[in-house]
Amino acid sequence: MELSGAEILVQSLKDEGVEYIFGYPGGSVLHIYDALFKQEDVKHVLVRHEQGATHSADGYARATGKPGVVLVTSGPGATNAVTGIATAYMDSIPMVVVSGQTPTPMIGSDAFQEVDTVGITRPCVKHNFLVKDVRDIAETIKKAFHIASTGRPGPVLVDIPKDVTDPAVLVSYEYPKKVSMRSYNPSVKGHKGQIKKALELMLRAHRPILYTGGGVVLGEASDELVALTKKLGFPITNTLMGLGSYPATERQFIGMLGMHGTYEANKAMHECDTLIAIGARFDDRVTGKLSEFCPNATIIHVDIDPASISKNVKVDVPIVGEVKGVLKEMLKLLNSGEFSPKPELISKWWERIEKWRSYNCLDYDRESKLIKPQYVVEQLYEVTNGEAFVTSDVGQHQMYAAQYYKFNKPRRWINSGGLGTMGFGLPAAIGVKLAHPESEVACVTGEGSIQMCIQELSTALQYKTPIKIINLNNGYLGMVRQWQEFTYESRYSHSYMDTIPEFMKLAESYGHVGMRIDKKEDVRGALEEAFAQKDRTVFLDFITDPTENVYPMIEAGKGHHEMRLAPGMITDEDLA
C-alpha cells in the first residue's frame, strides 16, 4: 500500500486502535488534518485550547488505561500543550502527542511558528522523537505507543515536520506488528527471593501498614491488592493517586495519608513498625518532613521504576517489578499454606487505630447556615451512589473531593496529583465521558480553577459529553488563602478575585444548563435535578463558606504526628 506521510500517520493510529484524537489544527499539521477528513475510524475532538486537548486525552487515558492521543500544530500549538504533557508525565499517564513542525529545510531558521518542541518537552516526556523521513513514521508511532504504555507509563511526543507529511510523496506502508528496542526493555518480574523475604517480614509485624499509590491503578492491580489486604488483615492507606484501588468503604481502609490525610492514617504511618509501600513514590506531600518519616519502620517497597526506590526514603526490602505480578506472587505464597497471617499479632495495633479513627477527623460544622463544601461532596456521593467518575482541579475542593467521596473502584478518581494543574478538571471530564458515555461524570472544581480551561465548555456541547460541574465557589483561591491564614497571619495577598463571572449565565451562553445554589437546603435537590438531566451538561455553582479550611493538615516541614486538626477536634494530648 502506497501512502503519504499524513495518511501513514492516520493509518498507524487506526492500526493502533485509537478511538479518539484530541487536537487543534494549524499550518504545519494541515496535511494530517486533510488525511483525518477522509476517514471516519479515528474520531477527532476539536478542543478550544491545546491545553484542553492534552487534559482530555489524559482523562481518557486515566479512565481507560489506554494511551490518550493528541494532535497539535507547531509553535504555539505545541507550547500550549506543554502543561498537559507535564501533568501526564508527573502522574505517569500514557499519552502520545503528535506535533507539527516547520518543514525540515527550515528548521533552525526561526521560521514562522517554529519552536524547538523536542527540546522544550524533553524534561517532561518519557521520550520524544523528531521524524525526519516519511519512511520512519509508522515505526516511530509504534514505538511511541509502546514506550508510552509499558513499564512506568508516560507521555511520548512525536514531532513531525510538515514536508514529511507531504501528500505528494508516497511510500509503502506497513504497520509494524511489534517493536524491539535494545535500549528499552522495561517489563520486570519481581525477584522471588525478595518477595518471600518481604512476606516473612510482613507476617512478623506487630504494627504493619500498607501504603499504596497510583502504581496500583496504573498496573491494574487493584483486585490483587484487595485480595492481599484482606488476607493479611492489615490496615491500608492510599495516596491521593491511589484512591479507589482499595474500596474506601471497607473497614481496613483508614483513609488517605499525607498533607491532608486522615488522623488515623498519618498516626499509623508514624507509629508503624513495618511499612509496605506499593506503587507509591514517597512524594513530599505524602511523607512530610523526611527525617520524621516512619521513624521505627522496616520499609518494603514494590515499584516498577527502580529510580523510585530509595530516592527520598531509604528502603530495606526493594522489589522492582510490575505490581500486579508481585502481588500475585505474594498471594500465591499465602495461599500455599507455607505462610499464614497471625491476626493476634496485630490486634493491639487495630485497637489503637480504631481509637484514632473514633475521633472522626473529617467531621465538620454541620450546623452552619452556610453551605459547607464537605457537605456538597457528601451529597454528591450519595446522589451518584458512589459510582461516578469524579475529576477535579487543584485546591481545597480537590482535597474535599478526595476526602469525602468514597471511591470504591480504581480509575474513578481523576486528578492532577503530581503537577497540581489548575484547569485539569473540565477537559479531563470530557475525555472521561467520551470513554464511558454510560457513566456519570462529575467535575469537582473551584471558581479559580474552572476559569483556567473554561473554554472547553464549548467542546463539551459540540461532542455531546454531558458532565456535571460541581463548582465549590468560595470566592477565594481557597488553598492559597488557607496557607496565608496559617503561615502569613491572614495577609490574603492576591488570593481573592474581585470579579468573577456569573457562572450560571456563562454556562447558559455556552449552551448548557446553569444553576446557582446558595442555600444549604437546596444542595441535595439541585444535585438530583442536575443528574436527572442525563443528556445535558449542568454547571452547578455552589456558593460555599469562604472561610472553610481543609483539615487535617500537615504543614510544610512537619511530620506525620504533627497534624493540625479542625478547630475543636480532640487529640491524643487532650486524652492523655
Ligand X SMILES: Cc1ncc(C[n+]2csc(CCOP(=O)(O)OP(=O)(O)O)c2C)c(N)n1
Q: Which residues are catalytic?
A: 50, 112-113, 162, 479
> What's the Cα-to-Cα distance from 546 to each of 361, 368, 496, rounded to whole Å?
21, 12, 10
Q: What is the per-residue DSSP string for 177-219?
A: S---BTTB----PPPHHHHHHHHHHHHH-SSEEEEE-HHHHHT
Instruction: Determine whether 499 is exposed, middle or buried from the number of CB atoms within 10 Å of its CB (0-12, 13-18, 19+).
Output: exposed
Number of other residues whose CB lies within 10 A of the CB of residue 73:
25
484 scored as a contact of ligand X (CB under 6 A): no
Q: Hey, what's the torsion of the CAs at 295, 297, 302, 306, to 10 degrees?
A: 50
For residue 184, which of 150, 159, 155 has the smallest C-alpha distance?
A: 150
Which segment (164-172, 200-208, 467-475, 489-497) binds Mg ion by CB under 5 A?
A: 467-475
Out of other proteins, ligand X, Mg ion, none, which partner does residue 165 contact, by CB within 5 to 8 A per kind?
Answer: none
Kindly tell me which residue out of 15, 107, 111, 127 binds other proteins, with binding defined by CB under 8 A.
127
Out of ligand X, Mg ion, other proteins, none, which partner does residue 167 contact, by CB within 5 to 8 A per kind?
Answer: none
Q: How far apart are the first and last CA of the chain?
A: 79
Kindly tell me which residue out of 88, 130, 158, 377 binds other proteins, with binding defined by CB under 8 A.
130
Return left, alpha or beta for 374; rule: phi > 0 is left, psi -120 to 50 is alpha, else beta: alpha
Out of other proteins, Mg ion, ligand X, none, which partner does residue 532 contact, by CB within 5 to 8 A per kind?
Answer: none
446 scored as a contact of Mg ion (CB under 5 A): yes
Out of ligand X, other proteins, Mg ion, none, which partner does residue 394 contact, by CB within 5 to 8 A per kind?
Answer: ligand X
> What is the nearest approach in angstroms of other proteins to the Cβ of residue 447?
34
Shorter beta-carbon distance to ligand X: residue 199 or 429: 429
307 scored as a contact of other proteins (CB under 8 A): yes
Out of ligand X, Mg ion, other proteins, none, which partner does residue 204 contact, by CB within 5 to 8 A per kind?
Answer: none
Instruction: Determine the residue with CB nearest Mg ion.
Output: 446
Which segment (38-46, 246-254, 301-309, 419-427) binds ligand X by CB under 6 A?
A: 419-427
118 scored as a contact of other proteins (CB under 8 A): yes
Shorter beta-carbon distance to other proteins: residue 156 or 429: 156
The residue assigned the cell 484512591 is 243
Strand partners, 238: 212, 256
Out of Mg ion, ligand X, other proteins, none, which partner does residue 326 contact, by CB within 5 to 8 A per kind?
Answer: none
Shorter beta-carbon distance to ligand X: residue 203 or 370: 370
Shorter beta-carbon distance to ligand X: residue 51 or 117: 51
453 scored as a contact of ligand X (CB under 6 A): no
The residue assigned the cell 501512502 is 3
DSSP H helices in 98-158: 117-121, 137-149
147 scored as a contact of other proteins (CB under 8 A): yes
Out of Mg ion, ligand X, other proteins, none, which partner does residue 184 contact, by CB within 5 to 8 A per kind?
Answer: other proteins
| Segment (H or E) for 349 | helix 347-358
Out of other proteins, Mg ion, ligand X, none, which partner does residue 422 contact, by CB within 5 to 8 A per kind?
Answer: ligand X
471 scored as a contact of ligand X (CB under 6 A): no
For residue 515, which of 501, 503, 525, 524 has the smallest C-alpha distance?
A: 503
x/- site string to ligand X, residues 512 to 551, per CB under 6 A? ----------------------------------------
25 scored as a contact of Mg ion (CB under 5 A): no
| Segment (H or E) for 128 | strand 127-130
283 scored as a contact of ligand X (CB under 6 A): no
Query: Please, which of residues 369-398 interact with ligand X by CB under 6 A?
Result: 393-397
Shorter beta-carbon distance to other proteins: residue 311 or 564: 311
Contact residues for 85 (Cβ-Cβ < 8 A; gap 6+): 54, 95, 97, 121, 124, 125, 155, 157
How many CA atoms within 13 Å lie on the side-chain side of 436? 22
Rounded to whole angstroms, how far apart are CA atoms 291 and 275?
16
Shorter beta-carbon distance to Mg ion: residue 447 or 548: 447
Q: What is the per-residue DSSP string for 89-106?
A: HHTT--EEEEEEE--GGG
Q: Which three cell numbers stand for residue 567?
A: 478547630
293 in Cβ contact with 320 (< 8 Å): no
Query: Please, which of residues 166-225 interact with other proteins by CB under 8 A?
Result: 181-184
For residue 69, which of 8, 156, 176, 175 has the smallest C-alpha distance?
A: 156
Q: Which three cell numbers stand for residue 339?
A: 505462610
Kindly tell me which residue out of 69, 297, 472, 523 binds ligand X, with binding defined by CB under 6 A.
472
> What is the nearest approach in angstroms of other proteins to the Cβ of residue 307?
4
Which segment (123-131, 220-228, 460-468, 551-559) binds other proteins by CB under 8 A?
A: 123-131
The residue assigned the cell 442525563 is 534
Rounded to whole angstroms, how far apart are CA atoms 219 and 184?
18
239 in Cβ contact with 258 (< 8 Å): yes
Out of other proteins, Mg ion, ligand X, none, which partner does residue 507 contact, by CB within 5 to 8 A per kind?
Answer: none
Shorter beta-carbon distance to ligand X: residue 298 or 474: 474
The residue assigned the cell 500500500 is 1
Q: What are phi and psi of 353, to 5 degrees?
A: -65, -40
Query: Please, which of residues 344-403 interact with Mg ion by CB under 5 A?
Result: none
The residue assigned the cell 505474594 is 330
448 scored as a contact of ligand X (CB under 6 A): yes
425 scored as a contact of Mg ion (CB under 5 A): no
Which segment (74-82, 85-93, 120-128, 499-507) binds other proteins by CB under 8 A?
A: 120-128
Out of ligand X, Mg ion, other proteins, none, which partner does residue 122 contact, by CB within 5 to 8 A per kind?
Answer: other proteins
316 scored as a contact of other proteins (CB under 8 A): no
Shorter beta-carbon distance to other proteins: residue 150 or 360: 150
How many CA atoms within 13 Å lie on the side-chain side of 545? 20
Kindly tell me which residue out of 117, 384, 474, 537 binds Mg ion, with binding defined by CB under 5 A.
474
Please give the residue ranges that form the binding site for other proteins (CB under 8 A). 118-119, 122-123, 126-128, 130, 147, 181-184, 305-307, 310-311, 314
Binding site for Mg ion (CB under 5 A): 446-448, 474, 478
Q: Which residues bind ligand X (CB under 6 A)?
A: 393-397, 420-422, 446-449, 472, 474, 476-480
